Structure 1
């Protein structure tokens, strides 16, 4: 029995193309100087390789490749990599002295600009030495098709522990399975295709079977196309952030004190995520003023973000172990970048997000394959990109925001002092933003097309400036440019 990619996984696999690489990642900052229950803990390259090998038994997909089926007769399949080489995937890098944040950001930008090798398991990891203060970093890079729900975690989440002294997992000898041949895959795909008409008839006559209900399939497809048309009609404002993109990236990150954000929450009696969105809006306002002379008073940018960040399933601030957000319902909201008064901007952000998070017209399931129950995928790469293009103007910038605080983490006994998520940069999106609450910090990460957002590193400074103006009580953000 072959292990076939799900419809969503196959869609992300085929999204790779010119200007688009459907991978994401995480940056972990490690500080061995912090107090830990394992004094003298160190993490060199060999120790990291051993740790990854030990943890891969909980994530078997990281030792599998994607094999396509002849003529697209069915979705691709996961196949064990018989030539798996851990040293190809786990790599060592070092920053030149003095190991600054700017040097780290540039290294990450170069790594994230390169596509993954599709003949191997679709991930890479880098141990980056030489950060100032004796620190190091781990960068993970994983194709989006590898991640589907809670069953398949990103490798940075697999490596991290809640305690410093976790014992290694028991050794588990891995032996790759026998790969299916092309003839076997083709015959299996044809057998599935020939069986599907019977499944459809069974669904129509009895209301059961794998397809479940043909009418529900048609209805979902009609609603999906209807949603696409609605989003095209209600297009986002014109922005250089919606343009033909290249594969060259820039990366930047910044941290601010959670206590400072809580002070703003108390001052304006709003929610924590209202303040986060207001900071993002301030960053985008400053960036807009850096690329053009003026920003109109009523000007907005349109953002998409997880609905769970607005309406969390659990109490806000509850600790969680996850920071890679994939899937789930999203909603589209407007960010009032044209408002120069920070206090007014915060209130507008809160009001718009409250309104749109309750509006079915502003809900989005993100990219989803058409007719997901159907297995045939001829010209899948073309159709996937064409369908993604339908949504190219529905929003300007995606924001990945966790709904829960991440508790303190360790890698092989060494404290993690920073966790920054690196989002996927989709086609015709020149900027992606992620926000994590980790320990006592709120951590922002930005990835952008180098040809479009040439001054991305400045956004890290804009985060601090946007927070400071809110703490100051609402002085104008627009008159300092």
Structure 2
């Protein structure tokens, strides 16, 4: 089966570089809090479960093929040498299984680009954690999660109870891969019906520009110019990045955000952003930055995901890091995320994120796809958030205790903050450049300090 990448799929695929891999990660900590010595999730069991669920995510057995002479966007084709053992790997922590060793491993594994000659995903079972726990780390390229039929594999692996649900048998057999001549002929036939696109692609093929981003890339470049008029505040989060990463996490209680929202009359989304803003303020001050009251950091954030289901959409929000009063910070954020402010951004935002066939699916991946269309021109920071299940979830009989997103760094972005609410808690995954953000632990600690400050201020 041959399916052409959409313009946005192709843009995400070609934005990747050795410094900026474009895969989205997810770290799940598994175990049984009531029986640490119970039967743990094992590699054979996970392999069987993944094999049984692969029919639900057919894109996970497809790989990307380029069209000769760049005469068309790349295509998805069946991987005739698909090898589950290549994608599903087993790792053990050496020495005592402290969590900081796990996070260092996650940083190293997620810093490595995926193999573009194979389906664009990997999964790691990580053993050796304390208390009998195990971790599952997934890496999925953002080009693979398209918001329609292609979703992140975690959406189909987890069950609402310890007993895995039954799935229909798998009858998949790889179709023969097309040859170069077939790919070229198919593209020429399609281009014949789109003369405007054909002329542009022929010009690109002769321009020696590689990699080519196609018509979608040119459209995005024009769209970005529409928002360049708003100056991006300078910040330590905008700098050239290396190939190496740091990863840290923060665990908080959902009840605290609800208390802030109840006392201040704001949404859960606004309460979370206010806590993040306070933490960013503390972090900047710890670096010796003297903040003026009007200073802001501009973030790309998903709009209102937690409290009312809606298609994934992103907005630009100025986070008032210069404001010393936590209640005023919250007020500024609430104003910035109102429908009126969102409408003022609406024209540009829709052009940037609603490329053909855009629709919601795996929310962290789609947030990254959205942000990547105007990276390093109009904002300082990417904050992705997604509501997780309110009840415990299970993988192969093991209960998921914690879940952390690992969002990629875009070009000239030193850190991203991923947020997921699950089972009464809110989990933060902080992915950062190893050189530019050696003090990422300061930002992690600042989240708790900001939470205490906000709770105290809103209780008065």
TM (norm. structure 2) is: 0.85
Distance across 2 between alignment mates of 1:297 and 1:73:
52
1:242, 1:393 within 8 Å by CA — same for their partners in 2?
Answer: no
Structure 1 unmatched ranges of 5 or more = 201-217, 315-326, 374-386, 476-481
Structure 2 unmatched ranges of 5 or more = 199-214, 358-370
The CA deviation string for residues 66-85 of structure 1, in whole angstroms up to 9 with x for no partner, is 11010111111111112111
Q: Which moved more, 1:287-296 or 1:462-471?
A: 287-296
* 2:415 is the counterpart of 1:419: no
* 2:253 is the counterpart of 1:257: yes
Q: Which residue of structure 2 lines up, in the alignment, with residue 69 of structure 1?
A: 67
Distance across 2 between alignment mates of 1:297 and 1:290:
17
Distance 1:55 1:450, change over 3 A: same
Distance 1:389 1:123, change over 3 A: closer
Distance across 2 between alignment mates of 1:352 and 1:198:
40
Distance across 2 between alignment mates of 1:418 and 1:279:
20
> 1:467: Cα distance to partner?
0.7
Distance 1:270 1:434, change over 3 A: same
Q: Which residue of structure 1 lines up, in the alignment, with residue 128 of structure 2?
A: 130
> 1:244: Cα distance to partner?
2.0
SS of corresponding position for 1:174: coil
Correspondence list, 1:90-105, <5 A? 90-105=88-103
Q: Which residue of structure 1 lines up, in the alignment, with residue 367 of structure 2?
A: none
> 1:233: Cα distance to partner?
1.0
Distance 1:191 1:64, change over 3 A: same
The total of aligned residue pairs comes to 429
Q: Which residue of structure 2 lines up, in the alignment, with residue 343 of structure 1?
A: 327
Distance across 2 between alignment mates of 1:415 and 1:389:
37
Q: Which residue of structure 1 lines up, in the alignment, with residue 179 of structure 2?
A: 181
Correspondence list, 1:7-406, <5 A? 7-34=7-34, 40-197=38-195, 227-309=223-305, 312-313=308-309, 328-354=312-338, 355-360=340-345, 364-365=349-350, 391-402=375-386, 406=390
SS of corresponding position for 2:257: helix
User: RMSD over aligned Cα, in angstroms?
Assistant: 3.0
Distance across 1 between alignment mates of 2:387 and 2:190:
40
Q: Which residue of structure 1 lines up, in the alignment, with residue 447 of structure 2?
A: 463
Distance across 2 between alignment mates of 1:453 and 1:365:
32
Distance across 2 between alignment mates of 1:404 and 1:362:
30
SS of corresponding position for 2:317: strand
> 1:257: Cα distance to partner?
0.9
TM (norm. structure 1) is: 0.82
Q: Which residue of structure 2 lines up, in the alignment, with residue 479 of structure 1?
A: none
Distance 1:357 1:404, change over 3 A: farther
Distance across 1 between alignment mates of 2:386 and 2:267:
14
Distance across 2 between alignment mates of 1:17 and 1:135:
34
Q: Which residue of structure 1 lines up, in the alignment, with residue 434 of structure 2?
A: 450
SS of corresponding position for 1:171: coil
The CA deviation string for residues 214-261 of structure 1, in whole angstroms up to 9 with x for no partner, is xxxx9x999966642232110220112122222211111111111122
Q: Which moved more, 1:184-193 or 1:290-299?
A: 290-299
The CA deviation string for residues 31-63 of structure 1, in whole angstroms up to 9 with x for no partner, is 134479xx9543111111111111111111111
Q: Which moved more, 1:224-233 or 1:135-144?
A: 224-233
> 1:171: Cα distance to partner?
2.9
The CA deviation string for residues 352-409 of structure 1, in whole angstroms up to 9 with x for no partner, is 2225324235852485698x69xxxxxxxxxxxxx96865230110111225754421
The CA deviation string for residues 297-319 of structure 1, in whole angstroms up to 9 with x for no partner, is 221100111124388346xxxxx
Distance across 2 between alignment mates of 1:438 and 1:290:
30
